[in-house]
Amino acid sequence: MMSIRFNRLAIAAVAAVSLAIPVAQAQTPDKPTETSKSDAAKSGPAFPTSRDLSSMTTSGSYLAARHASVERDAASAAAFYRSALRSDPKNNELLDRAFISSLAEGDIEEAVKLADRILTIDKNNRVARLVVGVRELKLKHYAAAQQNINQSIRGPITDLVAALLSGWAQYGAGNAQAAVTSIDKLQGPEWYPLFKDFHTGMILDLANKPKDAGVRLERAYKLDDSALRVAEAYAHWLSRAKDPTAAAAIYENFDKKLARHPLVLEGLKDTKAGKKLAPLAETPQAGAAEALYGIGASLTRRGGEDLALVYLQLALYLEPKHALALLSLADLYESVKKPQMAIKVYERVPANSALKRNAQIQLATDLDAADRSDEAIKILKDTTAQDPKDIEAIMALGNIERSRKKFADCATTYTQGIDASTDKPNWVFFYFRGICEERSKQWAKAEVDLKKALEMQPDQAHVLNYLGYSWIDQGINLDEAMKMIRRAVEQRPDDGYIVDSLGWAYYRIGNYEDAVKNLERAVDLKPEDPTINDHLGDAYWRFGRKLEANFQWAHARDLKPDPDDLPKIEAKIKDGLPDEPAPAAAANDNKDKKTDKGG
């Protein structure tokens, strides 16, 4: 349960480890830079504005709010629902929806006001009770916090949350033993003990009962030594109760499971320097935030995004600079395809956090996804300037440059990655550098790198595909090239881009019957790809099926191909293909898509 989803760089060979951070994912779609859109995203007015809201009817605000909710735009939904509620203040449905949207947006102060109104109507509303309880805990009104939180119980997850938050409220009220007893009494699923021992250990640590705290934290650690926060809490305790060497051993053990985690590296550095580390949570508010974060982060990878969003926002209400909660919230927004929201969250990660660098890498990836690639590239260049051996940042930079067709730049960047590799460089660097060199018309260099990548990974389908495709494109090494592409298809028979390569290879050597057969299959696998549909149209034409060729070209045109491809497609629709096959260079147009989407 205590784990969250990891994003990965193409080279990162890491597994999901409990309560760990998202690592940057550098692959992005191939798309043009749109400066005007970038500028609008940075400086344009927020929607909806007060003028927008004042001009809308109640029903219009409601419908706009529903649409925003479907789009997971909590900020707009909350604004629209609150606008509708002002027009119809006795509408309980609007009140409830405005409350939930404000909560999801992270406007907890507004959510608390709405929760107070809800409780005058429905004193048993459990979510409202939870929110009010967290507000009271933040204000150090511990008795009121406990009373409200205890009324929010209704299921395995919420039972656990309520027990942990209530325990922290009891500790805040000065009764640590009652806090531990109440948490211990909670019965439930087999994953409860890890949370119970983790939090009672932290409470006992703060209550100046180091021996009892150590028993609980050690027990939690033995239950799951791959839970990052558990390992950290135990290491922090060891550094004070025993010695920093024992604490360093905990970090070293974790590093074997997930190498080079920033918080682990920071802990190793401090413990090896002999530092005694402060408790993981030093206040009741921080402890409660840790509970909300831990469960919210777990829910993000188990299909519980809506509840996870609530818990993470409440955690950040209590601890606005909780870097792991910020990264988990941004990760959640990415999982529901909302990079603009993730960007705002990554920007909140404190500059002095060990996780800032990870946030910067992922921030850059999301900026690129939002067509703000110049900003993304600047961030990553700054990051790599600070640490020229930061392999993940280098890979992210190279991949953005490659997706934006800055091929000379990405070749240089991947070279930096190869030179920075302390061990043997990953084959991906050679593969991607080869692509950049080939696309910048440096085939001699590209061929060397692609062969090197294939030497390191002899059966790697994407390398086989790219090298074989390039040879056929140039009319050289045809037999070997066809064998390589067939091997790639055997490994990835359902990859539409690789199947398209095989069909297009047959087309290039004049075997139009096999070209049609494979390109039809590629279209079945990727029906919305304009380039594959265009290729099938060409094969149909050469095979004598000209009516079908025109249909495929028209379909490719309607699928919004790259601007450079559109005039070529329209010319074919008008005049068909010339008597002789098209120049080999035409096949290059799809290479970026094959590698970026398939590789």
Q: Do domains 207-282 and 388-598 have the same CATH topology?
A: yes
Per-residue pLDDT, 50: 62
Tokens of 157: 């997850």
- Check if the beta carbon of residue 234 is closer than 8 Å to that of residue 250: yes
3-state DSSP of 265-284: HHHHHHHHCCCCCCCCCCCH
Residues 213, 32: Cα–Cα separation, whole Å: 56
Per-residue pLDDT, 54: 61
Residues 533, 549: Cα–Cα separation, whole Å: 9
Per-residue pLDDT, 322: 97
Task: Determine whether 491 is exposed, middle or buried from the number of CB atoms within 10 Å of its CB (0-12, 13-18, 19+).
Answer: middle
Class of domain 207-282: mainly alpha
Extents of the domains making up the chain: 207-282, 388-598
3-state DSSP of 565-595: CHHHHHHHHHHCCCCCCCCHHHHHHHHHHHH
Those residues of the chain that have pLDDT short of 70 are: 1-47, 49-55, 302-303, 580-599
> What phi and psi, each to the nearest 5 degrees, are found at residue 9?
-70, 160
Residue with tokens 């592409």: 485
The upper half-sphere exposure of residue 24, i.e. CA atoms within 13 Å in the direction of its Cβ, equals: 35
pTM reported for the whole predicted model? 0.81
Per-residue pLDDT, 69: 79
Per-residue pLDDT, 65: 78
Beta-carbon neighbour count of residue 328 at 10 Å? 30
Per-residue pLDDT, 35: 31
Angle (CA) 267-220-187 rounded to 5° is 145
Domain 388-598 sits in CATH 3.40.50.1820: no
Q: DSSP state, 5? A: P
Which residues, other chains included, contact 104 with Cβ-Cβ below 8 Å and sequence gap of 6+?
Answer: 74, 77, 78, 306, 309, 310, 313
Per-residue pLDDT, 575: 95
- Check if the beta carbon of residue 420 is closer than 8 Å to that of residue 388: yes
